[in-house]
């Protein structure tokens, strides 16, 4: 899939107007204020940078639409982003892709993608740009003077030097100063990023039939390490291999492996062909609902953060073989007994419990204020943006913050 239809249709009139501005040389930086800016709806530009951000932004987009906000949706063709856009029926304009693990290529890729995003930003004139770690979007907005809000939940992958966003939203378990040098631009939300969308999950047991899994099987879902990520540690590959050998040698265990991209899928099929041919391991041939698979698994072993936290949010036993720098969120989940960190091959055999999960009839859908908190902060910035104004962090009532008792404030920059 190369491109999906954009949520905000780019009309021919808008396109012609944009071309006319560029030809006449009247476009200036920062963006000009259109004549109808007083009456038109507020516009928020959401850029989806990675696979986990698709389900994350779906409920946020729906909530913003309820508040009469126009959405400009763009996405990067990385890993399973396009498949997930189709799965969730989220129309986006797909711009740019992924160029592997080489750091220089990553920088060049982000710069190239930023250039590709500039015409969209100039034409649509968003009032606020929102992402979960999109450096290309922040670069574009720095050039064009568009306010930016970046969400992130892993403090070791956000250092962008001069490309700091205007505001950073992060889980309240991450220590102060970990995400930004300026405390006045940081606002916290309670809980996990995955708490935004897991409350809307509804189990569908047909996935077991779809994958050919017997009710007698002990189901283990395994997510390989992100070998192309800049924070990848080869120790994770060793733990993944040991995990696969353990699952393959244990009677009654059926392992479902979810590759991150087709290239990794091909490599896994070659490396573990004996387990696949014996029916002990399967790799789905088509995208599956990750939350649904997690729910109907007895345990999860993952080399990446999102699936670990999704399992923790649903209450499924989960083991992390991630060996990069452990972030504050994972340390918090470990202390709470909701995540087990696997640090060496001995841990694979002593800590991973291959037992059936006593699955409840339905997930715990108690009220989680993360979605409302994030949306409220976006709306607050849209409503009060102006030179020197301060925006109070919107925290739902009766919400306990894990770190700090003072509600943070975020500074609206001139």
Q: What is the pLDDT of residues 288-305, one digit of tens each?
A: 899 999 999 999 999 988
Domain boundary among 300, 320, 350: 350
The single residue listed with the structure tokens 């708490």 is 195
- Look at the pTM and tell me if it is higher than 0.85: no
Domain contains 167: yes
If asked whether residues 257 and 334 sit together in one domain, one would say yes
pLDDT tier at 259 (50, 70, 90 boundaries)?
very high
Determine, yes or no, domain membership for 4.
no
The confidence score (pLDDT) of residue 253 equals 98
The structure tokens listed for 323 are 């060996």
Range with the lowest mean pLDDT among 232-246, 345-359, 362-376? 362-376
**Strand order of the sheet with strand 148-151?**
93-97, 70-77, 43-48, 128-131, 148-151, 167-171, 186-189
Domain co-membership, 222 together with 266: yes
Whether 50 and 76 map to the same domain: the answer is yes
Same domain (yes/no): 71, 213: no
Single residue among 303, 319, 350 that ends a domain in this structure:
350
- Is 306 within the bounds of a domain? yes
297 and 192 within one domain: no
Residues 88 and 161 in one domain: yes
CATH number at 142 reads 3.40.50.2000
Expressed as residue numbers, the domain containing 217 is: 204-350
**Mean pLDDT value across residues 367-381:** 92
**Averaged pLDDT for residues 301-320:** 95
Answer yes or no: do 266 and 403 share one domain.
no
Residue 367 in tokens: 């009220």
19: tokens are 């071309």
Residue 264 inside a domain? The answer is yes
Average pLDDT estimate for 315-321: 98
Q: Does the structure show a pLDDT above 60 at 127?
A: yes
What is the pLDDT at residue 407?
35
Distance between CA 269 and CA 250 in Å, rounded? Answer: 20
pLDDT at site 31: 53
The answer on 394 and 336 residing in a single domain is: no
Whether the per-residue pLDDT at 397 is higher than 70: the answer is: no
| pLDDT score, position 10 | 41
User: Is pLDDT above 90 for 336?
Assistant: yes
**Res 305: pLDDT:** 85
Is 180 found in the same domain as 254? no
> Quick one: three-class SS letters along the chain?
CCCCCCCCCCCHHHHHHHHHHHHHCCCCCCCCCCCCCCCCCCEEEEEECCCCHHHHHHHHHHHHHHCCCEEEEEEEECCCHHHHHHHCCCCCEEEEECCCCCHHHHHHHHHHHHHHHHHHHHHHCCCEEEECCCHHHHHHHHHHCCCEEEECCCCCCCCCCCCCCCEEEEECCCCCCCCCCCHHHEEEECCCHHHHCHHHCCCCCHHHHHCCCCCCCEEEEEECCCCCCCCCCCHHHHHHHHHHHHHHHCCCEEEEECCCCHHHHHHHHHHCHHHHHCCCEECCCCCCCHHHHHHCCCEEEECCHHHHHHHHHHCCCEEECCCCCCCHHHHHHHHCCCCEECCCHHHHHHCCCCCCCCCCCCCCCCCCCHHHHHHHHHHHHHHHCCCCCEEECCCCCCCCCCCCCCCCEEECCC
238 plus 178 within the same structural domain: no
Gap between the Cα atoms of 403 and 317, Å rounded: 25
Cα 127 to Cα 8: distance, rounded to the nearest angstrom: 14
Of all residues in the chain, the percent with pLDDT exceeding 90 is 65
**Has residue 37 been placed in a domain?**
yes
Of the two residues 317 and 100, the one the predictor is more confident about is: 317
Q: In the structure, what pLDDT confidence band is assigned to residue 7 with cuts at 50, 70 and 90?
A: very low
Q: Is residue 218 part of a domain?
A: yes
| pLDDT bucket at 384, cuts 50 / 70 / 90 | confident
Confidence at residue 39, expressed as pLDDT on a 0 to 100 scale: 66
* 22 located within any domain: yes
Q: Report yes or no: 359 and 218 within 8 Å, Cβ to Cβ.
A: no
Q: Would residue 316 count as lying in a domain?
A: yes
pLDDT of 153 higher than 70: yes
What is the reported pLDDT for 389? 41
Domain count, the chain: 2
Closest C-alpha to 370, from 181, 177, 198, 164 = 198
Q: Which residue has the higher pLDDT, 94 or 261?
A: 94
| Residue 403 and residue 341 share a domain | no
Mean pLDDT score, 321-343: 96
Model confidence at 25, pLDDT cuts 50, 70, 90, reads: very low
- pLDDT given at position 408: 32
Least confident of 212-221, 274-283, 348-357, 360-369: 360-369
> How high is the mean pLDDT of the chain?
84
pLDDT score for 398: 46
The reported pLDDT for the residue numbered 179 is 82
**Contact yes or no for 224/323 (Cβ under 8 A):** no
Q: Quick: pLDDT tens for 155-207.
A: 887 565 668 899 999 999 999 888 877 778 888 999 999 999 999 999 999 99
Does 63 lie in the same domain as 136?
yes
What is the average pLDDT across 327-347? Answer: 97
């Amino acid at each position: 899939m190369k491109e999906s239809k954009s949520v905000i249709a780019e009309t021919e009139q808008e396109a012609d107007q944009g071309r006319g501005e560029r030809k006449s040389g009247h476009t200036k930086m920062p963006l000009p204020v259109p004549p109808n800016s007083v009456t038109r709806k507020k516009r928020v530009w959401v850029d989806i940078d990675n696979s986990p951000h698709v389900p994350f932004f779906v409920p946020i987009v729906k909530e913003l639409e309820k508040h009469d906000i126009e959405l400009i949706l763009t996405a990067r063709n990385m890993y399973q982003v396009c498949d997930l856009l189709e799965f969730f029926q989220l129309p986006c304009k797909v711009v740019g892709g992924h160029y592997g693990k080489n750091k220089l290529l990553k920088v060049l890729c982000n710069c190239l993608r930023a250039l590709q995003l500039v015409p969209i930003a100039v034409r649509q004139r968003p009032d606020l740009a929102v992402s979960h770690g999109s450096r290309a979007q922040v670069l574009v907005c720095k050039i064009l003077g568009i306010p930016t809000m970046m969400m992130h939940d892993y403090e070791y992958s956000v250092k962008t030097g001069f490309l700091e966003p205007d505001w950073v939203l992060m889980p309240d378990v991450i220590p102060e100063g970990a995400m930004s040098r300026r405390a006045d631009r940081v606002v916290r939300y309670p809980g996990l990023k995955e708490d935004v969308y897991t409350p809307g999950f509804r189990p569908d047991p047909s996935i077991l039939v779809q994958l050919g899994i017997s009710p007698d099987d002990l189901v283990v879902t395994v997510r390989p390490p992100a070998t192309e990520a800049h924070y990848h540690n080869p120790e994770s590959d060793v733990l993944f291999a040991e995990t696969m050998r353990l699952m393959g040698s244990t009677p009654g265990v059926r392992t479902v492996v979810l590759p991150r991209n087709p290239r990794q899928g091909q490599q896994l099929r070659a490396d573990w062909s004996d387990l696949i041919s014996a029916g002990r391991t399967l790799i789905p041939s088509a995208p599956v609902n990750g939350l649904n698979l997690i729910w109907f698994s007895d345990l999860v072993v993952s080399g990446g953060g999102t699936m670990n936290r999704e399992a923790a949010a649903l209450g499924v036993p989960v083991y992390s073989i991630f060996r990069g720098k452990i972030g504050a969120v994972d340390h918090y989940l470990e202390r709470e007994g909701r995540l087990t960190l696997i640090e060496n091959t001995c841990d694979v055999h002593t800590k991973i419990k291959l037992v059936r999960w006593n699955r409840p009839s339905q997930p715990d859908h108690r009220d989680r204020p993360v979605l409302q908190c994030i949306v409220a902060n976006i709306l607050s910035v849209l409503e009060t943006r102006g030179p020197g104004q301060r925006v109070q962090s919107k925290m739902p009532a009766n919400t306990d913050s894990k770190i700090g008792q003072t509600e943070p404030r975020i500074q609206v920059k001139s």
